[in-house]
Amino acid sequence: MKKTQKIKHKKHPNSVHLTKKARLIKRRHQIRRQKQFLCFILFLIIILSLSFLILRPLRTSRQTHMINSACESYRSDVEQVAAKYDMSAYVDLILALMMQESSGQGTDVMQSSEGAYNTQYPQTPNGITDVDYSIACGIQELKYSMAKADVTGPNDIANIKLALQGYNFGADVYFNYLEKNGITSWSEESSKAFAEIASGETKRSKEDPLYDTAGPWDYGDQYYPEHVLRYYHS
């Protein structure tokens, strides 16, 4: 008997070609998915980096602009005097003002020697040599300026800004200027405009450290509300 010969079926060239093509397509899909995954990871990294850069200054600000221990040590004294003058709701604001004025150093912690309520000591810088008296004079000065500004409460930041600038410039002259010019809200521009007049149009030298920190005109601190409020967390 003749042996039955097995017929070997050769793969059709087209089927080989299709298999290679399928593998190539599959590989392309894998590469595409890998690229999409890498793009997603890169996107997440960018978002997280941006979030860090945006939030970091805020965190730094909170850490840097805090009431120091020296001012905090006067909290109970401030609370007692504030209660006497119906200013208990503004203890944190008073301490923020103290922080800006003296950082709790020296005897005239509120820098109120030159104010109208100082009648016992020389009305010259650091003339007051009694901390309690400085606190009492400063609180009365602030209360007077807040009344001029129509401050309605601890969260009335718009009018508190006016009151703080009045504390720094002198409430009567500053609020007379505002009324005369129809100004009802604080701004850097109006603050500088007043300081220009009050200084007799005398500019600070650009080499003067106060030029950048307190303003170009040789009168007071033209950024005073912002400087105080960075310590105020109502």
In a domain, 36, yes or no: no
Bridge partners of 203? Answer: 217
Q: What amino acid occupies position 27?
A: R
Of the candidates 86, 183, 98, 214, which has an alpha carbon nearest to the alpha carbon of residue 144?
86
Measure the CA–CA gap between 234 and 84, rounded to whole angstroms. 21
Domain span at 89: 69-230
Angle in degrees, 0-180, between the axes of helices 188-198 and 171-180, rounded to the nearest 10: 110
pLDDT tens per residue, the chain (234 residues)? 555 555 555 555 555 555 766 777 777 777 777 777 777 787 778 877 675 555 544 443 444 589 999 999 999 999 999 999 999 999 999 999 999 999 999 999 999 999 999 999 999 999 999 999 999 999 999 999 999 999 999 999 999 999 999 999 999 999 999 999 999 999 999 999 999 999 999 999 999 999 999 999 999 999 999 999 999 986
In a domain, 117, yes or no: yes
In a domain, 212, yes or no: yes
The enclosing domain of 91 has a CATH number of 1.10.530.10
Q: How many other CB atoms are there within 10 angstroms of residue 161's CB atom?
A: 21
Tell me the whole-structure pTM to 2 decimals.
0.73
In a domain, 95, yes or no: yes
Measure the CA–CA gap between 220 and 225, rounded to whole angstroms. 12
Three-state SS for the chain is CCCCCCCCCCCCHHHHHHHHHHHHHHHHHHHHHHHHHHHHHHHHHHHHHHHHHHHHHHHHHHHHCCCCHHHHCCHHHHHHHHHHCCCHHHHHHHHHHHHHHHCCCCCCCCCCCCCCCCCCCCCCCCCCCCHHHHHHHHHHHHHHHHHHHCCCCCCCHHHHHHHHHHHHHCHHHHHHHHHHCCCCCCCHHHHHHHHHHHCCCCECCCCCHHHHHHCCECCCCCCHHHHHHCCCCC
In a domain, 40, yes or no: no
Look at the chain and report how many structural domains it folds into: 1
In a domain, 215, yes or no: yes
In a domain, 43, yes or no: no
In a domain, 83, yes or no: yes
The number of angstroms, rounded, from the C-alpha of 97 to the middle of its chain's C-alpha atoms is 15
